[in-house]
Structure 1
Amino acid sequence: MNIIEIIEKKRDGYPLSDEEIKFFVRGVTDGSIPDYQISSLLMAIVLNSMDDNETAVLTYEMAHSGYVQDLSMIPGLKADKHSTGGVGDKTSLVCVPVAAACGVPVAKLSGRGLGHTGGTIDKLESIPGFSADVSMYDFIKNVNEIGLCISASTAELAPADKKLYALRDVTGTVQSIPLIASSIMSKKIATGSDCIILDVKAGCGAFMKNEAEAKALADAMIKAGRAAGKKVSAVISDMNVPLGTNIGNSIEVIEAIEALKCRSESHFYDTCKKLASEMVSLSLDIDIKDAQSRCEKALESGAALEKFEKMISRQGGNSKVIEDYSLFKQPRYSYAYRAPVSGKISNIDALLCGKASCLLGAGRLDKASVLDLSAGITLKASKGDTVKKGDILACLYSDKSDISDTLHLLENSYSFEEK
């Protein structure tokens, strides 16, 4: 088989055969196909797309390009949840323990953040002592004994995706539904869970900028996952404004704990319950109303909070943070951003807020960046609120003494209907 002929075939708009896709993924994994030819085929895919079968085969082959986790030692249908990324998105910290409290075994592998979207592992590692590097033995043991575990992804899973993603990032080939879908789903399939719940974000703070794009991606991922024998469902959620009130790491964990205590901002709380209900419905094979009722009971009874506390302890963290937030690393400085005018807040740009949080130290500007786990932003006013000039709109936390660049971003992130 000849990679040049495969490139030319896709360049001319023809679908690739299963064998041609297998040959390509194998060549990516073992290094026999050079980067420039891989990049050429990626661009041809961006320009001419892939049909459902091509996407499904690419996803499956990427998933099996390395180690595929065997979770058969965990009884029942194991669930995993994935978000396509957003600002203030700490939903996994809530919906995972809620689902576990409802009897769903949750075996979740998560990543770290890069850019304006934060990573679940970074947030959890803001808990003193918490370790996300869990051996396979302990991963299975934790799920069997306490019902849940959230661990960091490893390089052994879907190595073809790691290579392709790195090339896509520097060759202008990121924006392709088949390539995004296969990248996400190959890793999810390789984790070994039976049920995959997808939270597909749409809006300025997400990779999919509108609902139509988000629905197209969700549809592609559902089809690819089901073709691999997985149960898959998706929720489309808004990311035009930040989710919840806190953007950062430790402060997002605090907000998640507050949600588990049933003390949370309504939109974030409702999003968490919706995702948890999908996890419970899919894994336990019950109707969504029954799942919603069980999730409500898990929250109101404190069972979900107890699951989160047990997970923290099992993974070496100080579970006392649940009642004493001062145990988190504290920022050196705090600042107030005040309303420049009186009026109604017509928009809070999620993307700019995410970038502002990064500049404070909460996110990575590159892979070598060291995070300030105490840094971040707490929004004190929401879209639709009426404020007076000088009112505090946001509190900013950082170890940096100069945050002028952050304040400039925040100034541009707020829009007002002036009185």
Structure 2
Amino acid sequence: MDARAINAALRRGETPSDADLSWFAEGLANGAVSDAQAGAFAMAVCLQGLSTEGRRALTLAMRDSGDVLTWDLDGPVLDKHSTGGVGDCVSLLLAPALAACGAYVPMISGRGLGHTGGTLDKMEAIPGVSINVSEERLQELMRDVGCAIVGATSRIAPADKRLYAIRDVTATVESLDLITASILSKKLAASPDALVLDVKLGSGAFMKSIDDARALAQSLVDTANAAGCATSALITDMNQPLAPSLGNALEVAEVMRVLTGETSGPLAEITVALGAVLLVQAGLCKTEEEAAEQLSATLRDGRAAKRFETMVAAMGGPRDFATGWARVLPEASVIREVAAPEAGYISAIDGEALGLAVVRLGGGRMVESDLVDPAVGLSDILPLGTRVARGTPMARIHASREDAADRAAAEVRAAITISRMAPELPPLIHERIT
């Protein structure tokens, strides 16, 4: 086997064999495949595509290029993946709620990408929390807590890490085959018994159209099931932020308000919907209605909050976080309201523009080496359909400097459209792919 022959076959529109793709993935991980050969591979897949079988084989090959976790637990191992949006802090709610229902949830998560927030960045907004744990420690967290939200070690799907960096500089990120293999190689390395995918659609998502979102959801579901993992997907709305806050500490605060029963709304609804799919797939509940009630009960009675607090403490954070979170989360030094310039209804929200405003405040990364300020962001964002008078606060800016707040205020005003007529509100869940 050699990379030139594999790339030549791809260029002709042929799908390499399982053995070819396994060899290529191992070559990505150990350096036997050069950057030039990896770039040619990515471009050939992007232009010619892979068959359904080829997509499955590439996913498993990249998964098997590193460690694949095994578990010895008395309940099902469940996981969830979101394709990314704004105000999407579902993972921080879903993991403890599922654990409180008897599941085990080892969430190997990522950092912010583009305009979207990162689950690991949100966890690190909690003082003392370390998301870097060994596989041995992750096993302990599963046995002792039942859930953990951690970063991937260097031994989880190393072929994907190498190929992703090359895709980023060769204009091949958009390939459906490569996106599917990238997402699933990491998720399947955690060996879940069931997986649910939250494919975002709308202005704050990477997928702007229903056709694109449906194609990605179907690809992910088909590939994961072909690889032996029971998987379903929900296509959920991201035409407005899922939570009314964007920014790491601010989103953690929203999570705690839901966990402690202070608020509910779309964030809780999506969490329960995704979790219900998982509990039924894992056989812990017979119907989604039964599963939704069990999950909602963990949010109402404090069991999910207690499980989250236990996880935070086990990962180095405060031991009383469920009651003391407001005292310890970092706060910005400059807080300013953005007033509506005219009366009317909030009819459109450019979620991507809001996400980029948070990045420019310091809540995300313009380049990989940037440090993230966990305190900055936006809060109290009014939802679509809200009727406002001139001067009504539409959002609140949390910034580290006055000039940064000035810039963010202009960006927020530009991202929110006010019209005379009330808009038709989009559904929270557009489609289910099973």
TM-score (norm 2): 0.92
- CA displacement at 1:265 relative to structure 2: 4.7
- Distance (whole Å) between structure 2 residues aligned to residue 209 and residue 64 of structure 1: 32
- Distance (whole Å) between structure 2 residues aligned to residue 390 and residue 125 of structure 1: 35
- Do the aligned partners of 2:397 and 2:409 also contact (CA within 8 Å) in 1? no
- Distance (whole Å) between structure 2 residues aligned to residue 155 and residue 136 of structure 1: 11
Corresponding residue number in structure 2 for 1:273: 272
Choose the corresponding residue for 1:405, options 404, 407, 412.
407
- Distance (whole Å) between structure 2 residues aligned to residue 142 and residue 28 of structure 1: 31
Q: Secondary structure at the match of 2:282?
A: helix
Unaligned runs of 5+ in 1: none
- Distance (whole Å) between structure 2 residues aligned to residue 233 and residue 306 of structure 1: 28
Q: Secondary structure at the match of 1:402?
A: helix
- Distance (whole Å) between structure 1 residues aligned to residue 382 and residue 240 of structure 2: 12
- Distance (whole Å) between structure 1 residues aligned to residue 306 and residue 340 of structure 2: 39
- Do the aligned partners of 1:242 and 1:349 also contact (CA within 8 Å) in 2? no
- Distance (whole Å) between structure 1 residues aligned to residue 57 and residue 37 of structure 2: 20
What CA deviation, in whole Å up to 9, does each residue of 1:48-72 have, x standing for no partner? 211110000000000010111222x
Corresponding residue number in structure 1 for 2:137: 138
Corresponding residue number in structure 2 for 1:235: 234
1:317 aligns with 2:317: yes
Q: Secondary structure at the match of 1:361?
A: helix
What CA deviation, in whole Å up to 9, does each residue of 1:65-102 have, x standing for no partner? 0111222x222221111111111110011111111111
What CA deviation, in whole Å up to 9, does each residue of 1:11-54 have, x standing for no partner? 22222222222232222222222212221121111112111100
- Do the aligned partners of 1:74 and 1:140 also contact (CA within 8 Å) in 2? no
- CA displacement at 1:393 relative to structure 2: 0.7
Q: Secondary structure at the match of 1:107?
A: strand
Corresponding residue number in structure 2 for 1:329: 330
- Distance (whole Å) between structure 2 residues aligned to residue 134 and residue 5 of structure 1: 39
What CA deviation, in whole Å up to 9, does each residue of 1:174-197 have, x standing for no partner? 111110000000001112222222
- CA displacement at 1:135 relative to structure 2: 2.7
- Distance (whole Å) between structure 2 residues aligned to residue 114 and residue 214 of structure 1: 18
- CA gap 1:151/1:380 in 2 versus in 1, 3 angstroms: closer
- Distance (whole Å) between structure 2 residues aligned to residue 299 and residue 116 of structure 1: 29
Moved more, 374-383 or 18-27: 18-27
- CA displacement at 1:285 relative to structure 2: 4.5
Instruction: List structure 1 segments (4+ residues) > 6 angstroms apart after TM superposition.
Output: none
- Distance (whole Å) between structure 2 residues aligned to residue 231 and residue 209 of structure 1: 27
* Paired AA for residue 242 in structure 1: P
* Paired AA for residue 27 in structure 1: G
* Paired AA for residue 385 in structure 2: G
Q: Trace 1:379-418 onto structure 2 (pairs within 5 A).
A: 379-403=380-404, 404-418=406-420
Q: Secondary structure at the match of 1:264?
A: coil
Q: Trace 1:46-57 onto structure 2 (pairs within 5 A).
A: 46-57=46-57
* Paired AA for residue 118 in structure 1: G
Q: Secondary structure at the match of 2:363?
A: coil
* Paired AA for residue 11 in structure 1: R
- Do the aligned partners of 1:114 and 1:365 also contact (CA within 8 Å) in 2? no
Q: Trace 1:204-283 onto structure 2 (pairs within 5 A).
A: 204-283=203-282
- Distance (whole Å) between structure 2 residues aligned to residue 86 and residue 200 of structure 1: 9
* Paired AA for residue 178 in structure 2: L
- Do the aligned partners of 1:244 and 1:268 also contact (CA within 8 Å) in 2? yes
- Distance (whole Å) between structure 1 residues aligned to residue 103 and residue 27 of structure 2: 38
- Distance (whole Å) between structure 2 residues aligned to residue 341 and residue 367 of structure 1: 39
Corresponding residue number in structure 2 for 1:358: 359
- Distance (whole Å) between structure 1 residues aligned to residue 41 and residue 144 of structure 2: 46
What CA deviation, in whole Å up to 9, does each residue of 1:163-213 have, x standing for no partner? 110011110001111100000000011122222221111122222222221
Corresponding residue number in structure 2 for 1:307: 307
- Distance (whole Å) between structure 2 residues aligned to residue 96 and residue 189 of structure 1: 17
- Distance (whole Å) between structure 1 residues aligned to residue 22 and residue 302 of structure 2: 48
Q: Secondary structure at the match of 1:284?
A: coil
- Distance (whole Å) between structure 2 residues aligned to residue 407 and residue 309 of structure 1: 34
- Distance (whole Å) between structure 1 residues aligned to residue 320 and residue 2 of structure 2: 59
- Distance (whole Å) between structure 2 residues aligned to residue 6 and residue 105 of structure 1: 40
* Paired AA for residue 199 in structure 1: D
- Distance (whole Å) between structure 2 residues aligned to residue 32 and residue 148 of structure 1: 37
What CA deviation, in whole Å up to 9, does each residue of 1:288-342 have, x standing for no partner? 1221121122222211111111111111211434333132112111111111111
Corresponding residue number in structure 1 for 2:157: 158
Corresponding residue number in structure 2 for 1:17: 17
Corresponding residue number in structure 2 for 1:293: 293
Q: Secondary structure at the match of 2:205?
A: coil
* Paired AA for residue 317 in structure 2: G
- CA gap 1:159/1:267 in 2 versus in 1, 3 angstroms: same
- Do the aligned partners of 1:372 and 1:398 also contact (CA within 8 Å) in 2? no
Moved more, 202-211 or 240-249: 202-211
TM-score (norm 1): 0.96
Unaligned runs of 5+ in 2: 422-434
Corresponding residue number in structure 2 for 1:186: 185
* Paired AA for residue 172 in structure 2: T
- CA displacement at 1:2 relative to structure 2: 3.7
* Paired AA for residue 383 in structure 2: S
* Paired AA for residue 376 in structure 1: G
User: Cα RMSD over matched residues?
Assistant: 1.6
- Distance (whole Å) between structure 1 residues aligned to residue 305 and residue 280 of structure 2: 20
What CA deviation, in whole Å up to 9, does each residue of 1:397-418 have, x standing for no partner? 1212212332232122111114
Q: Secondary structure at the match of 1:196?
A: strand
- Distance (whole Å) between structure 2 residues aligned to residue 146 and residue 6 of structure 1: 45
Of all paired residues, the percent bearing the same amino acid is 35
